[in-house]
Amino acid sequence: MNSAMFPLEEILSNYKFKGEYTGYVVMNNGHINNTFALTFNDNGAEKTYILQQINTNVFKNPDILMQNYVGVTEFVQQKVKEAGGNVKREALKVYYTNGGKPYYLDKEGKYWRVINFITDTVSYDFPENTELCYKAGKAFGGFQQLLQDYPADKLFETIPNFHNTVSRYADFEAALSADKMGRAAEVQAEIEFVKMRKDDCAVLLDLLEKGELPLRVTHNDTKLNNVLFDKETGEGICIIDLDTVMPGLSLYDFGDSLRFTGNTADEDEKDLSKVSFNTAFYRSYTEGYLSAAAESLNDAEVYYLPFSCKIMTLECGIRFLTDYLNGDVYFRISRPEHNLDRCRTQFALVADIEKKYDELMAITQEIYSALK
């Protein structure tokens, strides 16, 4: 039993699992937390739980992280129940330790949590077609809709200034000023690209300050593979990976999802001729998203949907460029200019979004008008 990649005996003795433990498999799809599926024999039926080690290098305060996690998951459970849905399949659930805590702190000081395993689902790493984009948009829109009444100001910032684009720009300026690796001279085109869009970084935050955009519960990691799709119906039934749930703008989630879903190339594609923004995928995703979330959004949130795609892509590119200037200290790289390639891909995508901006605005207003 002690050959497990986690303190098995400690975990088993501190939770009330149903059945007899039979084994585990590694499920590290999220790249941040170590994740395992624990299986048990419950009177002949297999029962599975998800065990995750919380990455305290990324999330410095597991207590506030789990307060967010528990608050949101229990709120979603209640909303699903009120709507007559299947709570076991449409919501995450945190299991408490025998001592009544939502996580277990082991003898080595590592933090663990146990959540439910949702059976008969599938996830996708890349958008395969417009139908999948529609369903992903609907799932993330549904997540926003479910949480429209949750008091976002009660959530903690588990990663401060995560999508604060003004702060990200300031980090870029600091890295440029220090130029500790002597790399600024070789990336003048990229530096100028960012500087020309400095004002864009303040647009959404200014609107938030004026009260034109409301503070929302945001997921902040709206990649396609954070949607579980039902194997039988193909519908997105549950949003997972809630570690980065924080107070923010609905536009953060929408824009970041399209930054990934709408890109025709890989995030680190060196051939920039392959990089473009897929307007067909944008249309499908937006149709799905607004079909679920339109009633909970105000007009300003809808109006700025295309802008959110641009600004979240720009933010990501700025972060890659900042890390390159700083000597690649944050993002993991596999080649010397990996972060530079990543930033160039994001900036190429920004440029294409700008070219197609009027078309994206027209698509958005067409969809929104049809729903009114």
Alpha-carbon gap, residue 82 to 86, rounded angstroms: 10
Are 48 and 117 in contact by the 8 Å Cβ rule? The answer is: yes
The whole-number pLDDT of residue 31 equals 46
DSSP 5: S
Within its chain, how far is the Cα of 87 from the centroid? 22
- Which amino acid makes up residue 161? N
**What's the Cα-to-Cα distance from 209 to each of 20, 202, 203, 215, 306, rounded to whole Å?**
54, 10, 10, 10, 20
Instruction: Return the CATH fold of 130-371.
Output: Aminoglycoside 3'-phosphotransferase; Chain: A, domain 2 (3.90.1200)
Structure token digits, residue 217: 């519960």
Sign of the four-CA dihedral 306, 308, 309, 314: positive
Cα–Cα distance, 265 to 270 (Å, whole number): 9
Which two structure tokens, joined as six digits, stand for 345?
A: 């891909």
Is 226 in contact with 241 (CB distance < 8 Å)? yes
What local confidence, expressed as pLDDT, does residue 1 receive?
A: 42
pLDDT digits (tens, 9 = 90+) for 202-261: 999 999 999 999 999 999 999 999 999 999 999 999 999 999 999 999 999 999 999 999
Give the Cα separation of 118 and 98 in Å (integer).
23
pLDDT tens-digit map of 165-217: 999 999 999 999 999 999 999 999 999 999 999 999 999 999 999 999 999 99
Query: Minimal CA–CA distance to 224: which of 314, 123, 293?
Result: 123
**Model's pTM, two decimal places?**
0.94
Contact 234, 135 (CB under 8 A): yes
Q: Mind listing the pLDDT tens digit for each residue in 304-349?
A: 999 999 999 999 999 999 999 999 998 989 999 999 999 999 999 9
**pLDDT tens per residue, range 115-155:** 999 999 999 998 989 999 999 999 999 999 999 999 999 99
Looking at CATH, the fold of the domain delimited by 8-119 is given as Phosphorylase Kinase; domain 1 (3.30.200)
Write phi, then psi, for 263 (nearest 5 degrees).
-80, 125
For residues 72 and 147, the answer to whether their CB atoms sit within 8 Å is yes
Q: What residue spans define the domains of the chain? A: 8-119, 130-371
